[in-house]
Amino acid sequence: MTDTTSQSNLADKLLQRAAPGRAEFEDLVVVPIFAVIVALIVGALIMLATAVDIETIGRSYLALLQGSVGSMNAISETLTSAIPLVLAGLGLALGFRAGLFNIGAEGQIVVGGIAAVIVGFSFPNMPWIIHMPLALLAGAVAGGLYASIAGYLRAATGAHEVITTIMLNLSSYLLLSYMLGLEWMQRPGRSDPVSKSVLPSAELPRLLTDIDPNLRLHAGIFVMIAAVILVHWLLFKTRTGFEYRASGENPDAARYAGMHASAIIVFAMATAGALAGLAGANQVLGVLERATPGFSSGIGFDAISVALLGRSHPVGVLFAGLLFGALEAGGRQMQVDAGVSIDLISIIQALIIVFIAAPLLVRAIFPWGFKKPAGR
């Protein structure tokens, strides 16, 4: 009876610690907002230090705003850039919640994209209502299986997932190069490494072509929204999600409470990889329509920043992905209008992460923004 009571009390404590309410509103919302503000200010100071005049700085930030939300094309590009970032960021956030530092989203995106392309150019007579979901599913399954390799190695041998996912990232690049050299996958009439184009029945349809044929926003935005809802439900409304969070908070206590740590590690990595694979599938089915070397474009690494900025919360990851999508879309406009190097966007993104990782510094800079209501 005593053991049962102790386990029940332990489970209650784990639930209280792992529940979403444990992350205060300030940590989830206020700190990221101030981190972005400070990063923009420091970015301006960096430009001043490199002999960029104040007028050009103002023009560059105005171009950044206009290029991200200043027109229908800007909004379309922002959302298009945000979709894979949010999907991969959700997977990384889920891993972080489970206490796993999965930095292999890049490789999982590549493998997921390869699988989606193969299914996408196969089955020429299949109706789109089956073909497109099947291609997306192929990307998710391939990404999940690839990530589960690192999960299994962690669970079975104790090999750290940081090392194994780095190696799997490198392996995915070699796999992509090999696959693009195969005759059955290569685009007809081409000797360079370009895959066959996916069939129209497998493409994610573009949504705004009636307004402007050049607008690239595609149906992947609905996949992104569904993924945010699904991950939120999984993490905070299911037993599996509770086990992920409890294991991430205190693995020893979770094991004592009867949770299977090895299974949690493998399943969490597989789920994270499936989301990253889905991001790769979205890129090849909605934007590129084929696979080429480097089609992942570092999205998996940017997604780490998105997950950190979003505090590993699905809603936070959504807004962080939209912000990084806006920075990417607006950065191109900033480079054209103000002549400022697009590398400044990378600097600003890095600064955001620096300040996110140092919340006490942000609180010291903006103490008035963190005053507690009277009576607390």
HEC profile for the chain? CHHHHHHHHHHHHHHHHHCHHHCCHHHHHHHHHHHHHHHHHHHHHHHHHCCCCHHHHHHHHHHHHHHHHCCHHHHHHHHHHHHHHHHHHHHHHHHHHCCCCCCCHHHHHHHHHHHHHHHHHCCCCCCHHHHHHHHHHHHHHHHHHHHHHHHHHHHHHCCCHHHHHHHHHHHHHHHHHHHHCCCCCECCCCCCCCECCCCHHHCCCECCCCCCCCCCCECHHHHHHHHHHHHHHHHHHCHHHHHHHHHHHCHHHHHHCCCCHHHHHHHHHHHHHHHHHHHHHHHHHHHHCCCCCCCCCCHHHHHHHHHHHCCCCHHHHHHHHHHHHHHHHHHHHHHHHHCCCCHHHHHHHHHHHHHHCCHHHHHHHCHHHHCCCCCC
Rounded CA separation 207/213 (Å): 10
- List 186's β-bridge partners, or say none: 195
- Give residue 11's Cα distance to chain centre: 31
Q: What tokens does 26 get?
A: 């300030």
Q: What is the pLDDT of residues 316-366, one digit of tens each?
A: 899 999 988 988 888 888 877 777 777 777 788 788 777 777 777 777 877
**Dihedral sign for Cα atoms in the order 297, 303, 305, 306:** positive
Rounded CA separation 341/69 (Å): 20
Question: 61-65, 96-100, 340-344: which range is least confident on average?
Answer: 340-344
**Dihedral sign for Cα atoms in the order 75, 76, 78, 79:** positive
Look at residue 25 and tell me whether its pLDDT is greater than 50: yes
pLDDT at 329: 86
**Residue 371 pLDDT grade (very low, low, confident, very high; cuts 50, 70, 90):** low
- Give residue 124's Cα distance to chain centre: 31
Q: What is the pLDDT of residues 159-207, one digit of tens each?
A: 889 999 999 999 999 999 999 989 899 988 777 889 999 999 999 999 9
Q: What tokens does 323 get?
A: 């912000």
pLDDT at 21: 46
Look at residue 1 and tell me whether its pLDDT is greater than 50: no
Rounded CA separation 242/120 (Å): 36
195 close to 281: Cβ distance less than 8 angstroms: no
172 versus 23: which is more confidently predicted? 172
Q: What is the pLDDT of residues 132-161, one digit of tens each?
A: 999 999 999 999 999 999 999 998 888 889
Phi-psi region of 123 (alpha: psi -120 to 50; beta: other; left: phi over 0): left
> What amino acid occupies position 193?
P
Q: What is the pLDDT of residues 42-54, one digit of tens each?
A: 888 888 888 778 8
Q: What is the pLDDT of residues 280-309, one digit of tens each?
A: 999 999 999 999 998 998 899 999 989 988
**Residue 99 pLDDT grade (very low, low, confident, very high; cuts 50, 70, 90):** confident
Q: Which long-range contacts (CB under 8 A, 24 or more apart) does 161-166 make?
A: 161/100, 161/101, 161/102, 161/104, 161/269, 162/101, 162/103, 164/104, 165/102, 165/103, 165/104, 165/107, 166/103, 166/104
Look at residue 24 and tell me whether its pLDDT is greater than 90: no
The secondary structure of residue 219, as a DSSP letter, is T
